[in-house]
Structure 1
Amino acid sequence: MTGELRVVCWNVERNGRGRNGTEDQRPLVRKIIRSFRPHIVFRQELWGAWDDGKADLYDEARAIGGLMPFMTRPREGRSLKPVGVMIDLDTFEMVQETEHDLPWKSIIDLTVRPKGSDKKLHLASAHLCHFDADMRATEARRIITLADHGRSVMIGVDGNSYPHRTDLEAVALPDWTQVKDRVHYQHRTIPGPNGKRVSDTRPSEILTGNGIYVDLGLHAGTDLGQHCALAPTASLKRLDQGPPQRIDWILSTPDIAKGLIRFEVVATEEVKQVSDHALLFAVFDLATVCEPATTR
Structure 2
Amino acid sequence: MPRHITVVSSNFELNGNGDHATWLAMQQRLAGLRPTILCRQETFGYAPTGRGSTLFGESKSITKLVGDLGPGKHATALYYDPEVFEQITLWDTEWPGWLLHPTAMTLRVCGTRDVDMVVGCAHLSYNSPTKRWTEAEDLTRFADRVETYESEHGPRKRKLPVLALGMDTNSYVDPDRLVPGELAIPRLEEIKDPPHRAHRSYETASGERVMDSRPDRILLTAGLEDVARHAALLPGGPGLAAVAPTVDECDTHGPAHRVDRVCTTDWLLPAVVHVEVADMKGLSDHHTVVVTYDLDMVVDLYRARFALTA
TM-score by length of 2: 0.85
Deviation at 1:211, TM superposition (A): 5.8
* Contact 2:39-2:121 at 8 Å conserved across structures: yes
Amino acid paired to 1:32: R
Q: Which amino acid aligns with 1:229?
A: A
- Paired position in structure 1 for 2:152: none
Is the 2:169–2:259 contact (alpha carbons within 8 Å) kept by the matching residues of 1?
yes
Q: Which whole-Å CA distance do the structure 2 matches of 1:206 and 1:84 have between them?
A: 23
Number of aligned residues: 281
- Cα drift, residue 194 of structure 1: 4.0
CA contact (8 A) 1:266 1:281 kept: yes
Structure 2 counterpart of 1:83, which letter?
Answer: T
| SS of residue in 2 equivalent to 1:100 | coil
**Aligned residue number for residue 63 of structure 1:** 62
Q: Does 1:157 align with 2:167?
A: yes
Residue 275 of structure 2 corresponds to residue 282 of structure 1: no
Q: State the match for 2:72 in structure 1.
A: 74
Q: Counterpart amino acid of 1:242?
A: G
TM-score normalised per structure 1: 0.89
Q: Deviations over 1:243-288 (max 9, x none)?
A: 1211100001023322010000112xxx111101011111110111
Cα deviation, residue 106, structure 1: 1.3
Note the alpha carbon deviations across 1:50-71, whole angstroms, 9 max, x for none. 152511111111111x210211
Instruction: Report if the CA contact (8 A) 1:57-1:69 is conserved.
Output: no
Which of 122, 127, 133 is the matching residue for 1:126? Answer: 122
Letter in 2 for 1:109: A
Distance 2:90 2:228 in 1: 27
2:30 matched to 1:33? yes
CA distance in 1, matches of 2:176, 2:12: 26
Q: Does structure 1 retain, via aligned residues, the 8 Å contact 2:71–2:94?
A: no
Say whether residues 1:8 and 2:4 are aligned partners: no
In structure 1, stretches of 5+ residues that fail to align are: 76-80
Q: Does 1:244 align with 2:256?
A: yes
Alpha-carbon distance change, 129 to 30 in structure 1, aligned in 2, over 3 angstroms? same
Change (3 A) 1:24 1:238: farther
Matches of 1:113 and 1:284, distance apart in 2: 15
Instruction: Answer yes or no: is the 8 Å Cα contact 1:237–1:276 preserved in 2.
Output: no
Deviating runs (4+, > 3 A) in structure 1?
Answer: none
TM-aligned CA deviation for residue 176 of structure 1: 1.6
Q: Helix, strand or coil for the counterpart of 2:25? A: helix
Measure, in 2, the Cα distance between the counterparts of 1:217 and 1:189: 23
**Shift of residue 177, structure 1, vs aligned partner:** 1.5
Percent identity between the aligned chains? 27
> CA RMSD of the aligned region, Å?
2.0
Q: How many angstroms does 1:24 deviate by?
A: 3.5
